[in-house]
A and B are shown apart, each in its own frame.
Chain A
């Protein structure tokens, strides 16, 4: 409690907070928060790894080389080879090019659609709210992977459809969050004032309401990139996502299944890759929540 008061004091002394100083506060907060900083650094390294995958990879990720199959980690094959003699290090590096975009695209779908629905439901209320929230209730009635199964059943198994399925599955969380935020922002005095002087609704939403709801959405979005990557990897593990020979982490884990007793590295390496990626994103997300939105801290 004491720390909060101390941190709030300078802003109280200066009633006009410029955007730049707010940004500086944010950067300072990020630098002070060890977990968030560590998460950010790991994540940036992973992104660099994904971008420069062809340069970093020592072998072709999908080239089959039977004489080299199930080799243990060595100088030539840093993380060993799989049942087809493919270099696991190269496959893991290239896998980042699938999993990271999958997480980002899925969350973008969820956040965009969720935000629009939440804004409409929260701002217009009445029947618009009723219809949207009933649809959301129905979506929430499906356990997450079950909803994804429905969508993959209709669209067919592929990594693109998994992105769509995971994205749709995350929509309700955004709609609920944004609707709640909008409901409270709508009552704010300056929104009333804008309404009274005849500012068009679309402009009120964009200029006065949206900025109020951005922080919690950023936090939720960061955290849900992690869970989206996990969900997508799980669906690929089941054979419903990336199809062979694409080097997707979940699918690679499934391939390693029959070698658990004899060649442990086949399944272990992609597992570590998923865990590190999701962990770094969650650490960043937790840190962002502490910095941007201290009220919802858990």
Chain B
């Protein structure tokens, strides 16, 4: 077990380095000179020609753009590790502060959404598996097909139309208070529940075919006990994998959902930064999201090994 954890941790390091190299490269791959873009953006309408050569050279020096690439990358990495992602081109605020300010909102959204998805998709998947090849099964599978085909932003609009505008039960926009969380989390959860339902159905079917389920049945246990105690428990192990797989999808989903519901959050911060060419913010948000995603996958892998002793600790 310890060996496995150690290997898995060591394998994470090159991935994180690679991720940081990618976000570092953003600033150097964009067409044009970052210093000019920055001066142009902050000049507030003044033509690019007005910028004095001295100001430009000073800024290049300040941003470290005159150093060789490896040195720049080293500095970038050092700063990133100490939580210094630079300052926003747009607001001149510290990127880290901006991220930490909105992070709780994104976490609330993704975790509640994930909860909805597991609850809703799990129940549907189990019902479908228990009623295999009946109309109930077909109906739930058609539902999950729709879930997979539905653009999340459109589903969000539909929920807004009914629950916010027509019946005014929940607010359609905003970030404060649990009531603003309901519709976005529901949107995120419903879209993901299609995938969850399919996965739970297939693992449940697999488990129901296992010998220990037959044994449990033949020794005269009530059906409910067979399902809950023998089948479901084993079918739940892959749900942990689902959590890992879905989390990236939920983070991606959050980018769009936060825009739909005009919520503050990491995804919207990143999307807005791309739109306004605020590169330090793009680098910071994406590096942060990717690091978070890698770490969650790491935790999922470790807990999977812990839950399922059949996994070899290489």
Interface residues of A (CB under 8 A from B): 134-135, 137-138, 141-146, 149-150, 152-154, 156-157, 226, 230, 233-234, 237-240, 250, 253-254, 256-257, 260-261, 264, 267-268, 270-271, 274-276, 278-279, 282-283, 286, 297-298
Closest-CB distance, B200 to chain A (whole angstroms): 10
Check B271 for interface membership: any CB of A closer than 8 A. yes
B157 touches A153 (CB 8 A): no
Task: Count B interface residues, CB 8 Å.
Answer: 52
Closest-CB distance, A25 to chain B (whole angstroms): 23
Q: Which residues of B contact A286 (CB under 8 A)?
A: 145
Closest to B138 in A: A35
Known contacts: A138-B22, A146-B290, A152-B274. The answer to whether A253 contacts B145 by CB under 8 A is no
Q: Which residues of A contact B282 (CB under 8 A)?
A: 149-150, 153
The residues in B between 75 and 123 inclusive whose CB is less than 8 angstroms from any CB of A are none
Main secondary structure of the interface of A (DSSP, over half): helix
B198 touches A298 (CB 8 A): yes
Q: Which of B145, B248, B293, B294 contacts A282 (CB 8 A)?
A: B145
Query: How many residue pairs, one in A and one in B, have C-beta atoms under 8 Å apart?
Result: 149
Closest to A256 in B: B157
Interface residues of B (CB under 8 A from A): 11, 14-16, 18-19, 22-23, 26, 29-31, 145-146, 148-154, 157-158, 160-161, 165, 198-199, 201-202, 248-249, 251-252, 255-256, 259-260, 267, 270-271, 273-275, 277, 279, 282, 286, 289-290, 293-294
B293 touches A143 (CB 8 A): yes
- In the assembled complex, 21 residue pairs joining A and B whose CB atoms fall closer than 8 Å, in A order, are A134-B15, A135-B18, A138-B22, A142-B289, A144-B252, A145-B267, A146-B255, A146-B289, A149-B286, A153-B26, A156-B31, A226-B149, A234-B151, A237-B151, A238-B275, A250-B153, A260-B161, A267-B154, A271-B158, A274-B149, A275-B146
Q: Which residues of B contact A239 (CB under 8 A)?
A: 275
Closest to B199 in A: A298
In angstroms, Cα B203 to Cα A297, docked, is 11
Q: Which of B15, B145, B251 contacts A143 (CB 8 A)?
A: B251
Closest to B153 in A: A237
B18 touches A230 (CB 8 A): no
A145 touches B255 (CB 8 A): yes
What 11 new A-B contacts, CB under 8 Å, besides A141-B293, A153-B274, A257-B260? A134-B18, A142-B22, A142-B290, A153-B30, A156-B31, A253-B154, A257-B157, A260-B160, A267-B157, A275-B146, A282-B148
